[in-house]
Amino acid sequence: MGEFVSLEVEGGVGTIRLDRPPVNALNNQVQAELAEAAREASERDDVRAVILYGGEKTFAGGADIKEMAERTYPEIAKFGAALTASLATIANIPKPVVAAITGYALGGGLELALTADRRIAGDNVKVGQPEIQLGVIPGAGGTQRLARLIGPSKTKDLVFTGRFVKADEALALGILDEVVAPDDVYAAAHKWASQFGGGPAVALRAAKAAIDGGLDTDLASGLKLESHLFAALWATEDQRNGMKSFIENGPGKATFEGK
């Protein structure tokens, strides 16, 4: 697809792969290619779930500091808006998304991982938002998605100090959802993603929209959103097939077409 980002699809699972040695730094080109890959993964019917992966050595080391350092205010404002929009495109993929984290996910790298629905990492991984050590703050979701995930107090500790967090603490904080041996990261992510290969794609999309949309509003509005999305599924073949199979064969035996 792109020079640094590709989308590889197999068995219903699409892998968005970063490959910009040595640390997968997120420059202008990478963020644009990430958005392009996310849009394609969203649109393709043969992609039922997505893995974000930076390879065996590292997930992503953040923004390209050498590129950023000499930018003017108008230039960095434009870059920051573009990076935020690119990561939003990934967060809005209407399918289950898992980040397979190796090595480290720092700064923009952690912000990229936070766009996923689940994060699986090696037990030697380090994560963090070290921007404060450069005299700046996270600018692509680190103060917002992280606070929604683990709460404001814990987020402030990480953002104020800029410290690196090891895998066991990140798991306890709720930044990571699963920790495995370093060599097993991609396989564990693929195992999680592949369970949706034959799943009810429309219902999964509705579930993600209800959960994410509800977090951005009050409870009453969230409940209305949920009710609307729930009722809309009665217009799908998957709902009819799923309920018919349950009545005739019991739970867990339905096959879905994603329609």
132 in the same domain as 219: no
Task: Say yes or no to pLDDT of 178 above 90.
Answer: yes
What pLDDT does residue 136 have? 94
218 is a domain residue: yes
Q: CATH no. for residue 113?
A: 3.90.226.10
Q: CATH no. for residue 223?
A: 1.10.12
Antiparallel, parallel or unpaired: β 5-10 and 13-18: antiparallel
46 in the same domain as 169: yes
Task: Say yes or no to pLDDT of 234 above 80.
Answer: yes
46 in the same domain as 156: yes
259 is a domain residue: no
179 in the same domain as 59: yes
169 in the same domain as 42: yes
- pLDDT range class, residue 96, cuts 50, 70, 90: very high
What pLDDT does residue 123 have? 97
114 in the same domain as 80: yes
Write b or e for each residue in 38-55: b if 16 or more Cβ atoms lie within 10 A of its Cβ, otherwise e.
beebbeeeebbbbbbbbb
Reference 9, options 48, 56, 54; nearest CA is 48
256 is a domain residue: no
Instruction: Name the residue range of residue 239's domain.
Output: 201-249
188 in the same domain as 230: no
Question: What one-character-per-residue DSSP string does 158-187 give?
Answer: HHHH---EEHHHHHHHTS-SEEE-GGGHHH
What pLDDT does residue 107 have? 94
149 in the same domain as 23: yes
- pLDDT range class, residue 259, cuts 50, 70, 90: confident
Beta-bridged to residue 121, according to DSSP, are 101, 179
Task: Say yes or no to pLDDT of 253 above 80.
Answer: no
Reference 34, options 56, 57, 11, 59; nearest CA is 59
254 is a domain residue: no
What pLDDT does residue 32 have? 93
Cα–Cα distance list, 5 to 10, 18, 99, 197, 203 (Å): 17, 5, 15, 23, 29
- pLDDT range class, residue 248, cuts 50, 70, 90: confident
149 is a domain residue: yes
65 in the same domain as 43: yes
Give the pLDDT confidence of 1-31 residue by residue, as tens digits.
Answer: 689 999 999 999 999 999 999 999 998 899 9
Chain center to CA of 237: 28
Q: How many domains does the chain have?
A: 2
Spell out the residues 6+ positions from residue 159 whose beta carbon is closer than 8 angstroms to its own.
129, 131, 132, 137, 138, 142, 143, 146
- pLDDT range class, residue 68, cuts 50, 70, 90: confident
How many angstroms separate the CA atoms of 174 and 214, rounded? 20
Cα torsion through 24, 30, 34, 35, rounded to 10: 150
Residues with active-site annotation: 111, 131
How many angstroms separate the CA atoms of 225 and 218, rounded? 11
- pLDDT range class, residue 88, cuts 50, 70, 90: very high
219 in the same domain as 157: no
* Final residue belonging to a domain, choices 170, 194, 218: 194
* Final residue belonging to a domain, choices 173, 194, 215: 194
Task: Say yes or no to pLDDT of 85 above 80.
Answer: yes
231 in the same domain as 107: no
Residue 109 parent element (H or E): helix 108-113
Taking all residues of the chain, what is their mean pLDDT, rounded to a whole number?
Answer: 93
What pLDDT does residue 79 have? 87
Average pLDDT over residues 69-73: 88
237 in the same domain as 166: no
- pLDDT range class, residue 142, cuts 50, 70, 90: very high
257 is a domain residue: no
Give the pLDDT confidence of 195-211 residue by residue, as tens digits.
Answer: 998 889 999 999 999 99
DSSP state, 234? Answer: G
